Amino acid sequence: MLTSNEIKKQMQLGNILIKNMSNGALDKPNSCDLSIGNTLYTFDYDIIDTKNSSIYLQEVLNDNIKNLKRIKIPETGLLLQPNKVYLAKTVEEITTHGFIPVMHGKITLSLLGVSVELTSGYKTQNFNGPLILSIIATKPIIIYPDIKIANLSFFPNLNHCQTIRKITNNISCGTYTSGMLSGEEIKKRMQGENPDILINPQDEIVINPNSVNLTLNDTLGIYSDPILDMKKENPIQKIKIGEEGIWFYPGEIYLGRTNEWTETNNLIPMISGRSSMARNGFKISSYGEMGSIGYKGFWHLGVEVVKPILINKNIRCCQIYYLTKDGENNKSYTGPMQNLSKDELGSPLYKSLKKIR
């Protein structure tokens, strides 16, 4: 993944163009902030025909509305209805040559139960235009115009490998300068006086072929108010996972954190759910998974379930994996999630939004 310095360098070379980029959008170590301005689009009926999906996207892209409904977000805020699909396009327009743009949601929104996802999963090199996003809220929540809605990152398009590595007499593979760390490489990066990766405690961690399992702390939170507000500190009721476990129910946002404290240097940490949990309808921060170089802290999680499910103490709920950085870097993450207290389970988004009131 490109560092912010490398993104700026490629912008100077003309390989990446980010039009309408806001001030400070590239202040983080390895991503660019994205905004949707003040316009949303939604379906004006309850049944959606997937055969018309490309038509819907073109309506949003060209702002030529026939099947959708255009909604303006006023300065006083707009109430998003739960489980309703809202479409939007970024204010920023992206042009790339030789680099692949990928969008990730923000953990501060994930902790409010707001899913922000790229409608096509990821883009390709030589992409040109704004990004079309879908926004879905778990609970009624007030959104405001011009908030930072997502993170944009870039990956180099690896057409050619640097060398060929022989595995057996009949099998060989290419080697590249960047990519995802293997489990063995994670172990190496955890060693020495100044390791790139710190996971504490590490005496019982499970290292997979290219990730490390993390466990869920037994203190959880749920929001007390029926309507959430992005600009407010929404009150939270804390609950405990007892020895017999606790039931999670659909329609609720369960706020938690990992037992493990992690620190990452010279790499980009990423968090994802575990497939064994996903098969049981357990979804964990799947839309706020990207970390930053220099991140220190527990991983704070927004958990939702499709069906009632019994969750036990210290369950292996997610996994962390690591991407190599591409380009020089002279900064570490200093955002709202850095060193967040273990007792603060809700979203700290309101702290930054106070500045735009």
pLDDT in tens, the chain (357 residues): 999 999 999 999 999 999 999 999 999 999 999 999 999 999 877 777 777 778 888 888 888 888 889 999 999 999 999 989 999 999 999 999 989 999 988 999 999 999 998 876 667 778 889 999 999 999 999 999 999 999 999 998 876 555 666 667 767 665 556 689 999 999 999 998 889 999 999 877 889 999 999 999 999 999 999 999 999 999 999 999 999 999 999 999 999 999 999 999 999 999 988 888 888 888 886 555 788 999 999 999 999 999 999 999 999 999 999 999 999 888 888 888 888 888 888 898 998 886 544
Report yes or no: 348 and 305 within 8 Å, Cβ to Cβ: no
Q: Which amino acid is at 224?
A: S
User: Which class for 234: exposed (0-12), middle (13-18), buried (19 or more C-beta within 10 A)?
Assistant: buried
Strand ranges (E), 224-253: 228-229, 236-240, 246-248
Question: Tokens 């170089």, residue?
Answer: 293
User: pTM for the full model?
Assistant: 0.88
**294 close to 313: Cβ distance less than 8 angstroms:** no
Between CA 257 and CA 277 the distance in angstroms is: 16
The residue to which tokens 């953990």 are assigned? 107
What domains can be seen in the chain, in order of their start residue? 4-156 (2.70.40.10), 179-356 (2.70.40.10)
CA angle 74, 79, 80 (to 5 degrees): 115
What does the block give as tokens for 344? Answer: 């603060």
Burial 86-119 (b: 16+ CB within 10 A, else e): bbbbbbbebbbeebbbbbbbbbbbbbbbbbbbbb
| Structure tokens that stand for 267 in this block | 């790499």
Q: Could you tell me which residues come within 8 angstroms of residue 23 by beta carbon, excluding any fewer than 6 positions away?
A: none
